[in-house]
C-alpha cells in the first residue's frame, strides 16, 4: 500500500525545488491508485504545509538549535509535515503524527536523525500541553485513565501556544497566519487589524467549489435534484441565479451528474459576478481580451443566449484549447478564438459593444486556492503587473464602440492593480466614465464604493476576493 505521507513528502520536495503546488500534487497522484480518503490526506498535507510554511519554519527556528533555512532541505520538509499535523490536524492523533514523521525521516535518508525529529515534535507537544483542543483532549484522556491527574486544570487552562510571536502587528499576523509581511501591510492599510486577521483566517481555509448552471441546457432545480440524488449536498448562493456551492467532499468533478451533458461548469461565485456586471445582450459583439481558460467567456455566451459574436483572445494557445473544450461540452456556438497578445491587436478598433478585461494579476484574492501564490508574488511582481494592466486597459478600451461598455476585473486585492490602475486610465481618458452597477439589482452587496467600483472581500462574502468596475465610453468618442 502506498503511504499518503510519503507521497506528500515527494510532492512537497518538488514544490521546494520550484514546482507549482497543483502540478506537483497531480504528478504524484496520477502515478498511484489511492482511496479517496488517502487522496484527501495527501492533498491536505501538501496544500497545508505550503500555506503554513512561514509558521512551520518559525516553529523550527524556535524549537531547534539550527534555524529552518540551515536544515537539510528534505529534513525541513519532513519537519513541516510533522508539525503541520500536530498543529493543524486535530483528527490525526499526536502519536500517529510523531511516529509517521519519524518513519519518514528513516525512509528518506535521515535514519541518523530520527532522535532529533522525535525530540523536536515531542518538545512541541510538551509546550502545547493544556493549550487548545488537542492539549485539553490529551489531558482529559489521561485523567480518565487515572494517570497524571494532577495535570487536569482546576480552572480553564492558560492560553499557551508553543509559537512565540513578536509584538509588531505586521510580523505577528504574518508569522501566526503564515503570510509575507508585505501582504499583511497591504491588507492592514485597507482593513485595519481585526478584519485583516479575519481575512488571513479565511485565506487559510480549504477552498469551496461552486458550479455555474448552464441555463441553455438545464435549470438550477434540475441540477440540484440530480446532485442530491447522487448524494452530493449543494446550496444556492444569494444574488447569483446560476450558482450552486458543493458542501463537503463531492469526489471527482467529472463524474458528477450533468458534467458530460454540459449542464454546468466549475466557476467561483465572485467570478460569476463579473459577467453579470458586463451584462451582455443577445446579438452583441463582445471581446474577452484575456479569455483563457474560458470560465467568463462561456458565461458571457450563456447570458447572450448564445446569440451574437464573442471574440475570445489570449496569447496562450494551450489555455485556449481548454476554452474550446469547455465551450464544446457546454454546446456553445458563438465563441470565436483569437490567439495573440491583445495589446498588439488593431483589427478590433471601435467594433465591440462590450469588452471584458479580466486582467492578469497577482491573485491575492484567491490565495486559498493557490497555496504557493503568497510566496511567489512580491512587491516587484505587483509593480510589473500593474504596468501591464495599465497598458491592457489603455489599448483594449479602443476596441469599444462609442456608447459601449468595458468591465475591468482582477482577482487581487492590491490597490496598485485595481483602484490605482483605473484612476490612472480615467485621468488620461476623458471620454470614459465609471458607471455604477447599482442599477443591476442582484449586485446588491452593499460594497460598491462611492467611486463606483466593486471590491469583494472574501471574509465578508465567503467567496474569492475580486475587484471589478464597469466603464462606459461616451458617444462623442473618436
pLDDT in tens, 320-332: 999 999 999 999 9
CA 113 to chain centre: 36
- pLDDT value at 65 more than 50: yes
* pLDDT single digits (tens) 234-263: 999 988 899 999 998 787 888 999 999 999
DSSP for 318-351, written as a single string: HHHHHHHHHHHHTT--SEEEEES-GGG--TTTT-
- pLDDT value at 60 more than 90: yes
Query: pLDDT category, 445, cuts 50, 70, 90?
Result: low
Instruction: For each of the domains in the chain, give its residue range(s) and CATH number, in order of start.
Output: 4-147 (1.10.940.10), 169-203 (no CATH), 209-266 (3.30.70.1170), 269-473 (3.40.50.150)
CA 109 to chain centre: 34
- pLDDT value at 55 more than 90: yes
User: What local confidence, expressed as pLDDT, does residue 36 receive?
Assistant: 84
Compute the average pLDDT of residues 77-90. Answer: 96
User: What local confidence, expressed as pLDDT, does residue 250 receive?
Assistant: 80
Pairs from 417-422 (Cβ < 8 Å, separation ≥ 24): 417/359, 417/361, 417/362, 417/382, 417/385, 417/386, 417/389, 417/467, 418/453, 418/455, 418/467, 419/451, 419/453, 419/467, 420/386, 421/359, 421/386, 421/389, 421/390, 421/393, 422/393, 422/453, 422/469, 422/471
Query: pLDDT category, 160, cuts 50, 70, 90?
Result: confident
User: What local confidence, expressed as pLDDT, does residue 2 receive?
Assistant: 59
* Residue (of 462, 458, 459, 457) closest to 447 by Cα position: 457
Catalytic positions: 411
Portion of the chain with pLDDT greater than 70, in percent: 91
* pLDDT single digits (tens) 361-378: 999 999 999 999 999 999
User: What local confidence, expressed as pLDDT, does residue 239 receive?
Assistant: 82
* 356 beta partners: 288, 407
User: What local confidence, expressed as pLDDT, does residue 378 receive?
Assistant: 96
* pLDDT single digits (tens) 128-156: 885 444 443 443 333 333 333 333 333 33
Sign of torsion, CA 31 34 36 40? negative
User: What local confidence, expressed as pLDDT, does residue 317 receive?
Assistant: 87
Q: Who wins on pLDDT, 202 or 154? A: 202
Q: Which range is least confidently modeled, 33-42, 151-160, 379-388, 452-461?
A: 151-160
Mean pLDDT of the chain: 89
b or e along 218-241 (b: 16 or more beta carbons within 10 Å of the residue's beta carbon)? bebeebbebbeeeebebeebebbe
The cell numbers describing 374, all together, are: 503568497
* Residue (of 431, 441, 341) closest to 391 by Cα position: 341
* Residue (of 53, 231, 260, 261) closest to 246 by Cα position: 231
DSSP for 376-429, written as a single string: H--HHHHHHHHHHHHHHHHHHGGGEEEEEEEEEEES---GGGTHHHHHHHHHT-
CA 317 to chain centre: 24
Is 17 strand, coil or helix?
coil
User: What local confidence, expressed as pLDDT, does residue 438 receive?
Assistant: 63
User: What local confidence, expressed as pLDDT, does residue 157 receive?
Assistant: 41
Amino acid at each position: 500500500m502506498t503511504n499518503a505521507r510519503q507521497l506528500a513528502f515527494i510532492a512537497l520536495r518538488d514544490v521546494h525545488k520550484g514546482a507549482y503546488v497543483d502540478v506537483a500534487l497531480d504528478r504524484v497522484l496520477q502515478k498511484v491508485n489511492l482511496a479517496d480518503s488517502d487522496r484527501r490526506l495527501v492533498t491536505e498535507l501538501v496544500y497545508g504545509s505550503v500555506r503554513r510554511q512561514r509558521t512551520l519554519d518559525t516553529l523550527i527556528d524556535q524549537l531547534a538549535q539550527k534555524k529552518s533555512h540551515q536544515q537539510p532541505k528534505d529534513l525541513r520538509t519532513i519537519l513541516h509535515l510533522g508539525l503541520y499535523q500536530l498543529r493543524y490536524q486535530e483528527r490525526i492523533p499526536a502519536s500517529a503524527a510523531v511516529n509517521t514523521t519519524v518513519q519518514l525521516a528513516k525512509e528518506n535518508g535521515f535514519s541518523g536523525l530520527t532522535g532529533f525529529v522525535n525530540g523536536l515534535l515531542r518538545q512541541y507537544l510538551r509546550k502545547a500541553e493544556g493549550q487548545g483542543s488537542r492539549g485539553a483532549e490529551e489531558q482529559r484522556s489521561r485523567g480518565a485513565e487515572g494517570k497524571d491527574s494532577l495535570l487536569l486544570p482546576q480552572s480553564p487552562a492558560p492560553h499557551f501556544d508553543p509559537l512565540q510571536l513578536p509584538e509588531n502587528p505586521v510580523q505577528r499576523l504574518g508569522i501566526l497566519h503564515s503570510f509575507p509581511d508585505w501582504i499583511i501591510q497591504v491588507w492592514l492599510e485597507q482593513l485595519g487589524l481585526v478584519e485583516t486577521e479575519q481575512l488571513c483566517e479565511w485565506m487559510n481555509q480549504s477552498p469551496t467549489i461552486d458550479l455555474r448552471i448552464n441555463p441553455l441546457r438545464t435549470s438550477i432545480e434540475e441540477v440540484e435534484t440530480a446532485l442530491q440524488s447522487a448524494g452530493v449536498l449543494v446550496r444556492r448562493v444569494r444574488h447569483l441565479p446560476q450558482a450552486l456551492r458543493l458542501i463537503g467532499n463531492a469526489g471527482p468533478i467529472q463524474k458528477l451528474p450533468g458534467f458530460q451533458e454540459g449542464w454546468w461548469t466549475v466557476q467561483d461565485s465572485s467570478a460569476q459576478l463579473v459577467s453579470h456586471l458586463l451584462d451582455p445582450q443577445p446579438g452583441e459583439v463582445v471581446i474577452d481580451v484575456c479569455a483563457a481558460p474560458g470560465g467568463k467567456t462561456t458565461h458571457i455566451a450563456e447570458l447572450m443566449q448564445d446569440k451574437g459574436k464573442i471574440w475570445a483572445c489570449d496569447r496562450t494557445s494551450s489555455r485556449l484549447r481548454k476554452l474550446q473544450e469547455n465551450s464544446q461540452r457546454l454546446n456553445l456556438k458563438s465563441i470565436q478564438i483569437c490567439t495573440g497578445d491583445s495589446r498588439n491587436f488593431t483589427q478590433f478598433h471601435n467594433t465591440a459593444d462590450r469588452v471584458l478585461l479580466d486582467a492578469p494579476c497577482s491573485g491575492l484574492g484567491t490565495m486559498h486556492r493557490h497555496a504557493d501564490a503568497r510566496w511567489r508574488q512580491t512587491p516587484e511582481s505587483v509593480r510589473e503587473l500593474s504596468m501591464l494592466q495599465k497598458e491592457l486597459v489603455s489599448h483594449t478600451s479602443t476596441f469599444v464602440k462609442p456608447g459601449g461598455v468595458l468591465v475591468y476585473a482582477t482577482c487581487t486585492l492590491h490597490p496598485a492593480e485595481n483602484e490605482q490602475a483605473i484612476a490612472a486610465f480615467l485621468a488620461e481618458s476623458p471620454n470614459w466614465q465609471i458607471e455604477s452597477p447599482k442599477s443591476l439589482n442582484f449586485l446588491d452587496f452593499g460594497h460598491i464604493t462611492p467611486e463606483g467600483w466593486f471590491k469583494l472581500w472574501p471574509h465578508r462574502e465567503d467567496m474569492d476576493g475580486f475587484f471589478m468596475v464597469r466603464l462606459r465610453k461616451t458617444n462623442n468618442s473618436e
